[in-house]
Structure 1
Amino acid sequence: MATSSKSNEKKPVVQSELNRLSKEKSPYLLQHANNPVDWYPWCEEAFEKARNENKLIFLSAHESFENEAVAKIMNEHFVNVKETQPDVDRMYMLFVQSFSGSGGWPMSVFLTPELYRKTGFATLLKRMSELWKEQPDEMRKAGTNAIEQLREFITSRGESAKSIKLDMKTALKLYNHFDKMFDDEQGGFDGKSEPKFPTPVQLHFLLRYYYYILVDLERAYERLAIMSINEIRNRGASLGIDFKDCENEAQFLNKLKEVVTSRKQVAEKSLEMVNFTLKKIAMGGIHDHVGNGFHRYSTDRYWHVPHFEKMLYDQAQLLMSFVEAYAITKDQYFAEVARDIVTYVERDLRDPEGGFYSAEDADSYPHEGAKHKLGEVLFRSFQGAFCVWEMSEIKEILGDKNSEIFCWHYGVKPDGNVDPNKDIQGELKRKNVLIQRHTLEETAGHFNITSDQLKETLSESMKELAKYRVEKRPKPHRDDKILAAWNGLMITGLARAYDSLRDKKFLDLAEGAAKFLKEKMYILEKKVLLRSFREGPGDVEGFVDDYSYLIEGLLHLYQSSFNESYLSWAIDLQDRQNQLFYDEQSGGYYNVKEGTKDILLRLKDDHDGAEPSANSVSVSNLILLGNIANNLDYSTKAEQTLKYFAGRLNTVPYSMSAMVASLMLHIKGVKQIMVVGREQNPIVQQFIEVIQDRFIPNKTLLVAKPENELLLEKNEMVNAIVQGEFAKETDDNVPSVHICENFTCGMPISNVEELVDKLKY
C-alpha cells in the first residue's frame, strides 16, 4: 500500500545543523535542508549506507517532514532519500499505480537497499523496520517478483499492439470521452469532480480534431463536385459513409446533408468546449488577476480556489492554448490572456541571460516580519498569502468608489469568498480569492458607466493592488532552476504567440531562451543536452523529454524566424535522441538512456501528465522534421512508435491525448508550405503573415531561397523549386507560394488573395 499523507502536527523546527540537502543546488531540495530528517539526495552514498547498515530506504517525493518525533524514527531506522529526478519519479510512480490502482504526489515509498519497493508511511515506520530485521529475504523476494511483473507488463504492451490498425476511430473515441465528461457549466473534462486541472494537452487534441473534421468535409466537397451520384455511391468510403441503400437522388442528398450537418456539429462542439473552458479558467481564481499568469490547479470545480504554485510548464502550455484559440476565433480576449502569461513569465521567471526558471512556490509569509509560513495539506491547505485579499484592504488601497466596482466585478465579500470546506486549516478565513463574477458588460451596466470607463477603473485598480502586493508582502520562494524540457515548452509557446500576435518581443524571448540552452546546457562536441542549470550547469545529462520538448521548440522557432541554425540544432538533437533513447527492436523511446545508474527499469512513457508524454511529442517532431529534412528514417520511427503504443491508444486514448493528436498528424499528413523569395521583400512578409495567422496544425512553413544551404541540401523538392525560381536572378523576381502534400506541389500562388482562398482548409 502507498501513502502520501503528512503529519497533522506542523510546528516550527529549530535545528542546529543542516542535513545533507544543504549542499545541493536544487531549490526544492534546499527547502528541506532544515528538516529534522537526515535527508540524502538520490545518490550512491545513500544506497551504500543502506547496504552497509542493512536499513530500508525511505524515498520521498514532494513531501515535507517537520515532526521531530517522526523524524527521530526515520533517522534511526531508515536511510532517507529526497529526490527530484523524473526518471526515478516515473519508475516508482508506475509501480504504485500498477499495484495499488492509484497514484499521485506527494509520493512516499520504502525500498530495500537494492532499490526494490515496499509501501507504507507514518504508523508503519516501526513495523516496516521490524519486518526488515525479521524477514529481509522475504521482502527482497517480494521486491524482485514485483519488478519482474512490472517488466513483463511493460514488454507486453508493445507486443500486443502489433496487429492493431491505426485510424481515426481512436480520435472519435477520445472526442466522445471528452464530450461525455465535459462540464458544461464550469468547463473542463472531469465532470463535476474536483480538484480541477487545466490539462492543455486535452485542449490541444480538441482543436486539432476540430480542424481535421473541417478539412475532411472541405475535401469531400471537392471530390463530390466532380463525381456522379453513382460514383459517390460506389466510393462512399471517401466520406466514410455507405450510400448504397439510397434508391434515388433525393434519398442520397438527404443522407449526405445529415452526415455533413452531424460532422460540422462535432467540429463546432470541439471548439466550443475549448473556448468555454479557456474562458472559465481565465475568469477564475486559478488566474492571478493581479500578478498575471496561472496557478497550478483549482481545488474546486469552479476554478476558484487554487493551489497557488505557479509552474513554467503550465504557463507555456496555456500560452499555446490561448494563442491557438485566438488564431481560430480572433477573439481578442484570448489574445489578452496570452499577453498576460508572457508578462508574468518575462517579469518573474526569466533569468537575465535568457533562460526561464521553473516555478514559484505556493506558500509565502503573510506579511513582513511573519515568523511562520502557512502550511499545506494535499488538496486542502491553500497557502496563497501573497495573493489573497480582505475587503478592508482593497477599500483602503483603492478608495470607496473604485473598490465598490472592483469588489462587485471580482466577487469580493466582507467575510471572504472562500468556501470553508476548502479551508480546513482556517488560513483563508475572511480572505478573498479574486474571481471574475461578471462580464464587462454586466458590471458596466450595473454601475451605469461605459465599458471604456470600466476598463480604465479595473486597470488602475489592478496596478494599485499589484504595487501594494510587491511593496508590502514577501514574495513566494522562486525555484530558479532552469530545466531544458520546460524551456523547450516555453520556446514553443512564445514562437506560436509571435506567429499569431506579431509582437517581436515574443520572438526575442524565445530566441533568448534557445541561446541560453545552447551556450549553457549543451555540450557541443558531444552533441549532448544537459538537463538543468542553477549556479552553473548540472552534471545530469538530458532525459528524453528534454530532447523532445526542445526539438519541438526549435521546430516552431525555425518556422517563426527562418534561421537555419535552429533547424540544424533540431536535427542534431533528434539524431542524438534516437541514438540514446530509441528502441530499435520494438519502437518507442525510453525515458532514460541505456546504462543509467540506479534505474531498475527503462520505461516508455505514453500517458500525459502535467505535460504531454515525450513519446507523443517525439512522434510529432519526427513527422514534421522528416518532412522538412526529407528524412525517411524519421518518418519510419514515428510510425513504429505509434504502432508500439497502438494497444493503449485503442483501449485508453483518454490518457494519451497528445499521442492521439500525433496519430491524427500521421494519418492526415503534412501540408508543406513554401514561400519562395527573400524575407526582406514586402510581398514575402505578407505571405508569411497570412500563413502564420491561420491555425494549420499540420503545416511546415519554409522560406525557400538560394542562401538556405541546409534546407536545399536536405530537401530535394525545395531545392528543385529554388533552382527553377531563381535560375535567372533579377530584381523583379515575383515571390510565390507552393503548397505541397503527399509529395505533390500545387501551382505557384503569386497573390495574397489567392493564398487566403487556398488556406481556408
Structure 2
Amino acid sequence: MASSSTSAQHHTNRLAKEKSPYLLQHADNPVDWYPWGEEAFKKAREEKKPIFLSVGYSTCHWCHVMAHESFENEEIAKVMNENFVNVKVDREVQPDVDRTYMTFVQATTGGGGWPMSVFLTPDLYPIYGGTYFPPRDQFGRPGFPTLLKRIASLWKEDPEKLKKSGMDVMDMLRNATGLNDDGRSKDAVNMDIAHKCYKYFVNAFDSKEGGFGGEPKFPTPVQFHFLLRYYYYTHHELGSESLSNLSISQIHAKGNQLGIDFKGCLEKSDCIQKLQQAIANQQKALEMVKFTLVKIARGGIHDHVGNGFHRYSTDRYWHVPHFEKMLYDQAQLLATYIEVFLLTKEDYFAEIARDIIKYVVRDLRDPVGGGFYSAEDADSYPHEGAPHKLEGAFAAWEKSELDQILGEDSIVFCYHFGVEEKGNVPREKDIQGELINKNVLIERYTLEETAKEFSLSLDALDQILKRSKEKLAKHRAEKRPKPHRDDKILTAWNGLMISALARAYEALGTKEYLSLAENAAKFLKERMYDTGRNQLLRSFREGPGNTNGFSDDYSFLIQGLIDLYECSFDENYLKWAIDLQETQNELFYDQNSGGYFNVPETNKDILLRMKDDHDGAEPSANSVAVSNLIRLHAFTQNPDYHTKAEATLQTYGDNLQKHPYSMPSLVSSVMLYVKNIKQIVFLGDIQNPTVVNFLNVIRHRYIPNRALLFTPSPDRVDSSVIAQKNDSVKYLLQAIDASDNKERIPSVHICENFTCGLPIRDVEKLEEKLSD
C-alpha cells in the first residue's frame, strides 16, 4: 500500500462542510475536492479543465483502499489538483449521478463497481472511466498517476476531440437504453415470461451450495421474491383437487397455468402424468429458496456472533464475506425469511428473521428519531491504537482467542463453526493478507452432527453455543473498536425496512415490530417530507439533506406505507401513500411511452435520464411502482393507476421477453398483474376477538396478491378513503345500512374482479375458502 504523506501538513477541503459520511471521510485529503454541483462545473468551464469524478460510499472497502493509496498521497494529489477539477459523490445520496456514469463505465469496460473513477468534460460528458486504479503501474496496466497524466495530456492536445467522443458515447447509450424508442409490447405481458424466468433460475441453481451461479455470491432477495411468488401462483393455486376427477380439458387448463405444452397428449392418463411431473418441478421454486436461505444462514456471510448479514460472499460456499453490512440487505432478507416461514411454518426461518431485527435495532437504528441508518463498514481497527484498519477485523477470530474467551466450551464451539489453528480463510480469498490465521465462523456441521460428535443432547449443545456467542459478543463490544457506521438515513432504504417490519409483525405477532415500522414512517414524514410540495427528500444526517427524493425513494416508501396500512388499518398511511403516488406520477412518469424515470425532468445536471428495469442489490423502482399501482388500484379503484401499471409493463415487454431473469422483481409484478388482486374486506370492530381470529388466519398465510381492507366505523365513513373510493366497500356499507346488521356482526368478504362473495362469519369457513 502506498505510503501517505498527509502527516506533513493538515488539509481541509470543501467536503468539510458536507453531511455525507463518505464525503466527510475525504475532507482532510490533500486533493482539492468539490461536491457535485455548479461550483465545480463553473470552475471547470472557466479554467477549461476536465473533471475527475470519484463515486463511492462510506462503507466501501476498495474505496478506502484507493483513498489511502492515492487520495491521501501528496504527489498524486498535486497532479490531480493541477490538471483537474476533482469531484466526490456519495452514490447512496446521489444515485442519479452514479447510475449515469456507471452505465458509461459498464458499456465501455464490460464491468463496474466502486470506487468508480470517471473523467468528464466541463459539460459533464464522459471521456474515460473505470473503477479502482492502483497507485503504480503493474501487470501491464497503468496506475492512477500514469492515467492522470495521460488524460491531462490528451485534453491539452485536443479537447474538442474528447468532447465529441463523450457526446457520441452518450448518444449511443441513449439509444442502447431505449430512451429514444417506444418499446411497448402489448402481447408480451403474460405468464410465459414467468415460466421462462423460472427455467433460467432452475438451470443456474447451485444444487450443492445454494444460490445462482458461481463466485462471488450475493444474497439476491429479488430472485427469492420472484421464486416464492412463482411457486404460489403455479403450484399453490392449482389447488388440492384430485387430478383423476378432472376432465381432460380441465387438465389442459391447469397445465396452461404452468406453461405446459400438451400437444399430442390425448390420453387422460398421459396428460395427468405430464401435469403431475410439472407440478413436482414447480415445487423446486420453493425448495431452491429454502435451501439457499439455510446455506447463507449457516455460512460466514451471517454474523453468528453479532447478528445480521454481511454484503456478499467472495466464494461459492457463503464462507468468506465482504464484511460490510447494508440496511437494504437486512430489510430484503428479513422479508424473504418471513415469507418462507409463512409458506413452511418452520421456526428456523422465523428465528433468522428475529436475528436480523435484533441487529438492525441494536446497530442501525437512530434511538431518538426512529429512522434506520444505512450501513456498517467492512473495515475496522483490530485493536485500540492500531495504525490501520483491516477488513473483517471486528468479525474474525484466531483459535487462541476463542480458547481463552470460551474456556472448556471452546472445543465444541470451534468444531461446530469450523475453526482451525491456522485460520480457515483460503489464502486466495485474502488478497491483502488481512485475515491470516483468522477464522470466519461457518456452521460446518448440523446441530445433530455436532451433538453426536460430543455425545450431547440438542438442548445441552444449544446452551453451549448460546453461552459462547454471548461471551464473544461481549468481548467484541468491550475489546474491539467498532466499524464505522454510516449514520445517514435514506428514504428508500427505510421504506424497505418499514415494509419488512410490517410483514414481520403480521407473521410473528410481535407488537414491537409494528412500533418500529411506524416510528420510522413518522420520522420520514416529520423530517424528510416537504408537505407543501408533497415531495420527499433523499437523505437525513444532522438535519435534512438538500437532495430531493428519486423514483426509488417514492416506490419503496409507498410500498412500506401500503404494508403498514394492511397491518394497522390506519388510513393515514394509505392517504400518504396515495399522495406520494400522485407526486411520483407527476415528477417521474413518462407520459409518452410509460414507465418511471429515475430523476425528474427538472434535474439538468444529468445527461442520461434513465428508466431502470433491471434489478440490482435492490429491486428496480419501476418494478415496485407497478406493484404499488396495482395494489393502490385495489384500494381506490382509480383507473389511472391500472392504466399506468399496464403501460409500464408494456414499455418493458420486449426486455421481459428477451431476458426476464435480469428483472425478476418486474416479472413478479407481471404475475401480480396477470393473476389480479384478492380483496379481503373485514367488517366489525378491529378489537373484536372474532375479527382478530380472522386477521390471524389471513396474516399467517402467504398470499402475495392480497389487499386487506377494513370497513370504517359509521362515524368515520365520510373521512375514509376506502369508504369513499372503493366500490366493494361502498356496496357492503350500503348493504349493511339496508339490512338489520346495524351491530355490524364480524364478517369477511373475499372479492375478486370487483365481485364480492357472501359474508364469511366463522374462522373454519375462512380457512376452507382460502384453501380452495
TM-score scaled by length of structure 1: 0.94
Alignment partner of 1:124 out of 147, 150, 172: 147
Give the counterpart letter for 2:392 in structure 1: G
* Superposition deviation, residue 246 in structure 1: 5.4
**2:411 corresponds to:** 404
Alignment partner of 2:396 out of 388, 392, 395: 388
Using the alignment, how far apart are the partners of 2:120 and 2:72 within structure 1? 22
The reply to whether residue 426 of structure 1 matches residue 433 of structure 2 is yes
Using the alignment, how far apart are the partners of 1:452 and 1:238 within structure 2? 46
Aligned-partner SS, 2:123: coil
Instruction: Count residues in correspondence.
Output: 737
After superposition, the C-alpha distances for 1:83-104 in whole angstroms (9 at most, x for unaligned) are 1210000011112223333322
Q: How does 1:657-736 map to 2 (within 5 A)?
A: 657-706=664-713, 707=716, 709-725=720-736, 727=738, 733-736=744-747
Give the counterpart letter for 1:54 in structure 2: K
CA contact (8 A) 2:127 2:163 kept: no
Give the counterpart letter for 1:602 in structure 2: R
Alignment partner of 1:159 out of 150, 168, 182: 182
Using the alignment, how far apart are the partners of 2:331 and 2:355 within structure 1? 12
Aligned-partner SS, 2:385: coil
* Superposition deviation, residue 729 in structure 1: 7.4
CA contact (8 A) 2:184 2:593 kept: no
**1:16 corresponds to:** 10
Residues 459 and 491 (structure 1 numbering): CA distance in 2 closer, same or farther, change over 3 Å? same
* Superposition deviation, residue 256 in structure 1: 2.2
The reply to whether residue 196 of structure 1 matches residue 217 of structure 2 is yes
* Superposition deviation, residue 154 in structure 1: 3.0
Residues 12 and 515 (structure 1 numbering): CA distance in 2 closer, same or farther, change over 3 Å? farther
**1:335 corresponds to:** 350
**2:377 corresponds to:** 361
The reply to whether residue 742 of structure 1 matches residue 753 of structure 2 is yes
**1:213 corresponds to:** 234
Using the alignment, how far apart are the partners of 1:428 and 1:559 within structure 2? 46
Residues 239 and 419 (structure 1 numbering): CA distance in 2 closer, same or farther, change over 3 Å? closer
After superposition, the C-alpha distances for 1:362-420 in whole angstroms (9 at most, x for unaligned) are 1111011212222xxxxxxxx01111111111111111x21111111111111111111
**2:365 corresponds to:** 350
Aligned-partner SS, 2:170: helix
Aligned-partner SS, 2:235: helix
Give the counterpart letter for 1:16 in structure 2: H
**2:138 corresponds to:** none
Alignment partner of 2:117 out of 103, 108, 116: 108
The reply to whether residue 456 of structure 1 matches residue 449 of structure 2 is no
* Superposition deviation, residue 265 in structure 1: 1.7
CA contact (8 A) 2:238 2:254 kept: no
The sequence identity of aligned pairs, in percent, is: 59
After superposition, the C-alpha distances for 1:645-694 in whole angstroms (9 at most, x for unaligned) are 11111111111010000011111111111111111100000000110110
Using the alignment, how far apart are the partners of 1:554 and 1:713 within structure 2? 19
Residues 735 and 126 (structure 1 numbering): CA distance in 2 closer, same or farther, change over 3 Å? same
CA contact (8 A) 1:164 1:647 kept: no
CA contact (8 A) 1:619 1:662 kept: yes
CA contact (8 A) 1:705 1:722 kept: no
CA contact (8 A) 1:233 1:244 kept: no
Alignment partner of 1:258 out of 274, 280, 285: 274
CA contact (8 A) 2:195 2:259 kept: no
**2:564 corresponds to:** 557
Using the alignment, how far apart are the partners of 2:291 and 2:256 within structure 1? 34
- Kindly report the root-mean-square deviation, in angstroms, between the aligned alpha carbons of the 2 structures: 2.0
Using the alignment, how far apart are the partners of 1:646 and 1:386 within structure 2? 46
* Superposition deviation, residue 731 in structure 1: 8.2
Give the counterpart letter for 1:13 in structure 2: T
Give the counterpart letter for 1:105 in structure 2: W
**2:45 corresponds to:** 51
Using the alignment, how far apart are the partners of 2:707 and 2:749 within structure 1? 12
Give the counterpart letter for 2:745 in structure 1: V
CA contact (8 A) 2:722 2:729 kept: yes
After superposition, the C-alpha distances for 1:256-279 in whole angstroms (9 at most, x for unaligned) are 2321x1232222100010000001
CA contact (8 A) 2:183 2:652 kept: no
Alignment partner of 2:199 out of 161, 165, 176: 176
Aligned-partner SS, 1:291: coil
Unmatched 5+ residue regions in structure 1? 1-7, 375-382
Alignment partner of 2:96 out of 87, 105, 108: 87
After superposition, the C-alpha distances for 1:416-470 in whole angstroms (9 at most, x for unaligned) are 1111111122211111111111111111111111111111111111111101100
CA contact (8 A) 1:157 1:648 kept: no
Higher mean C-alpha displacement, 324-333 vs 145-154: 145-154
After superposition, the C-alpha distances for 1:502-555 in whole angstroms (9 at most, x for unaligned) are 110100000000000001111112211111111111111110000000000000
Using the alignment, how far apart are the partners of 2:5 and 2:419 within structure 1? 32
Residues 222 and 624 (structure 1 numbering): CA distance in 2 closer, same or farther, change over 3 Å? farther
Q: How does 1:275-354 map to 2 (within 5 A)?
A: 275-352=290-367, 353-354=369-370
Q: How does 1:538-557 map to 2 (within 5 A)?
A: 538-557=545-564
Using the alignment, how far apart are the partners of 2:750 and 2:364 within structure 1? 39
Higher mean C-alpha displacement, 601-610 vs 94-103: 94-103
Aligned-partner SS, 1:424: coil
Give the counterpart letter for 1:391 in structure 2: K
The reply to whether residue 33 of structure 1 matches residue 33 of structure 2 is no
The reply to whether residue 75 of structure 1 matches residue 96 of structure 2 is no
CA contact (8 A) 2:36 2:88 kept: yes
Residues 158 and 206 (structure 1 numbering): CA distance in 2 closer, same or farther, change over 3 Å? farther
CA contact (8 A) 1:672 1:740 kept: yes
Using the alignment, how far apart are the partners of 1:497 and 1:623 within structure 2? 22
After superposition, the C-alpha distances for 1:680-721 in whole angstroms (9 at most, x for unaligned) are 100000000110110010111112233352210110211211
After superposition, the C-alpha distances for 1:38-75 in whole angstroms (9 at most, x for unaligned) are 21111111111111111110111123233333222112
Give the counterpart letter for 2:406 in structure 1: L
* Superposition deviation, residue 18 in structure 1: 1.7
Unmatched 5+ residue regions in structure 2? 57-62, 134-143
Give the counterpart letter for 2:764 in structure 1: E
CA contact (8 A) 2:728 2:755 kept: no
Higher mean C-alpha displacement, 232-241 vs 324-333: 232-241
Using the alignment, how far apart are the partners of 1:362 and 1:616 within structure 2? 30
TM-score scaled by length of structure 2: 0.92
**1:379 corresponds to:** none
Using the alignment, how far apart are the partners of 1:299 and 1:197 within structure 2? 9
Give the counterpart letter for 2:632 in structure 1: L
Alignment partner of 1:437 out of 437, 440, 444: 444
Using the alignment, how far apart are the partners of 1:340 and 1:350 within structure 2? 15
* Superposition deviation, residue 742 in structure 1: 1.3
**1:380 corresponds to:** none
Alignment partner of 2:173 out of 109, 129, 150: 150
